[in-house]
Amino acid sequence: MTSYLESLSLLLVYSAIAIYAAAFVAYTIDLARRAAPAPAPAREPALAGAQAPPRRATYTGADAADHTEPDNPRASKAVRVGYALTVLGWVFQVGATVLRGVAADRVPWANMFEFSLTGTALIIGTFLIVSIRVHLAYLGTAVLGLVVLLLGVATVSFYVPVVPIMPALQSGWLVIHVMIAMLATAFLGLAFLVSVLFLIKRRGQAKGTPRIQRLLATVPSTEALDRLAYRMTTIGFILWTFTLIAGAIWASRAWGRFWGWDVKEVWTFVIWVLYAAYMHATATRGWRGTRAAWLSIVGFAAVIFNFAIVNVFFTGLHSYSGLK
């Protein structure tokens, strides 16, 4: 029974990857259409960004750019297909995750494969939910691309069969600590994508080809992107703080000390400090915008390093990859 559920779960994972890949294509077609020369009126008056008060530099209100998100009718069909496919893929992935948990008779995040499976489900889930309120179609290609990559690598390289949970992980804190770590990763990952887009837009606006410029004209202003990245990082940062604290409490319960500079603890600390620096950067003249965006990218690179490299190549107390 267990192995049947396990195989079924893996089948659903493969299906989800395939559907996500299709959604990725749909979103990419949308981007291509946005870049095509079109008689559509200029979506974003060039001055909108310039007129807006500098973010957080003074008392500022809601920026008009938030409400001028273009809905290019030529692009909307591809976007609708992409969104629908993403929802479908997500349903498959959630099914896969639940079946994996049922097969293992525990939470489905006790090794690297399961962490990736549940974590990417959370990224897509967050993307879908935020999409309801904020127009995020322009991010579809990046989000789906990232998830196909992460989930693909995890399935190929990190897959391990279902095994019971080792004594070190038999704790209620596994549910809390790891769940929050995954949620934090989801938010920080989305913030990372927005920051990359921010940098592309800032550069492309000045130096891009006409196609690039047309494409970039359909995404929100750099102001709005910067603010979106900030909001997502804010949530991610608080969740990461919780991860760190929950981990420390668990460590004091399991190992008799709340902090011991284990390799994983070192990197969790490094990431926390990097994002603390990001929060400061958004409030410091000369660091707002471009440099803050780079910090967001460095921060997420550290998150990925902490997960993919530290787990596999470093020896420490957090050796739970299940890989041999």
Partner 1 sequence: MPILNENMQADLPADHVDRTGDIVSPSLTVTGWARWAWRQLTSMRTALVLLLLLALAAVPGSLIPQQSSDPNGVIQFRRDHPGWTWAAELLQLHDVFGSVWFSAIYLLLFISLVGCVIPRIRHHARALLAAPPATPRNLSRLPAYDQQHLPHRSPGDVLDAAERELRRQRYRTIRVRNDGEHSIAAERGYLRETGNLLFHIALLAVLLVLAIGSGYRFTGQRVLIEGQTFASTRIAYDSFTAGRLVTDAQIPRFALTLNRFRVTYVTDNLNALGMPRNFDAKVTAQSDGRQQKADIRVNEPMSVDGTDIYLLGNGYAPTITVRNPAGDVVFKDSIPFLPQDAKLTSLGIIKIPDGLAKQVGMIGLFYPTRATAPNGASYSSYPDLLNPVVTLDVYVGDLGLNRGIPVSVYTLDTSKLTKIAGRGTTTRGIQLVPNVPQPLPNGLGSIELTSIPRFASLDIAYDPTQIPMLIAVAAAVAGLALSLFVPRRRVWVRATRRDDGTDVEVGALSRGDDPSLQTVVEGHFTHLTTPDQETRP
Query: Which one among 4, 76, 149, 269 touches partner 1, defined by CB under 8 A?
Result: 269
Of the two residues 125 and 316, which places its CB atom closer to partner 1 in the complex? 316
Under a CB-based contact definition with an 8 Å cutoff, are residues 148 and 17 in contact? Answer: yes
| Other CB atoms within 10 A of residue 194 CB | 28
In sequence order, what DSSP letters do the residues of 103-166 get, joined into one string? HHTS-S-SSHHHHHHHHHHHHHHHHHHHHHHS--GGGHHHHHHHHHHHHHHHHHHS-----PPP
**What span, in angstroms and rounded, lies between the C-alpha atoms of 94 and 89?**
9
Of the two residues 60 and 157, which places its CB atom closer to partner 1 in the complex? 60
CA-closest candidate to residue 123, choices 86, 88, 81: 86
Under a CB-based contact definition with an 8 Å cutoff, are residues 121 and 154 in contact? Answer: no
CA-closest candidate to residue 21, choices 86, 117, 116: 86
**What span, in angstroms and rounded, lies between the C-alpha atoms of 305 and 302?**
5
- Report, in Å, the least distance between residue 26 CB and partner 1: 29
Which 209-268 residues touch partner 1, going by CB under 8 A? 227, 230-231, 234, 237-238, 241-242, 245, 248-249, 252-258, 260-263, 266-267
Which 152-181 residues touch partner 1, going by CB under 8 A? 160-164, 166-168, 170-171, 173
CA angle (305, 89, 189) in 5-degree steps: 25
Residue 258: strand, helix, or coil: coil
Q: How many residues form the binding site for partner 1 (CB under 8 A)?
A: 65
- Report, in Å, the least distance between residue 10 CB and partner 1: 14
Binding mask 53-72 for partner 1 (x = CB under 8 A): x-xxxxxxxx---x------
Query: Which one among 48, 316, 319, 323 touches partner 1, defined by CB under 8 A?
Result: 316
Which 279-308 residues touch partner 1, going by CB under 8 A? 279-287
Residue 91 interacts with partner 1 (CB under 8 A)?
A: no
Site residues for partner 1 per CB under 8 A: 2, 53, 55-62, 66, 160-164, 166-168, 170-171, 173, 227, 230-231, 234, 237-238, 241-242, 245, 248-249, 252-258, 260-263, 266-267, 269-270, 273-274, 276-277, 279-287, 310, 314-316
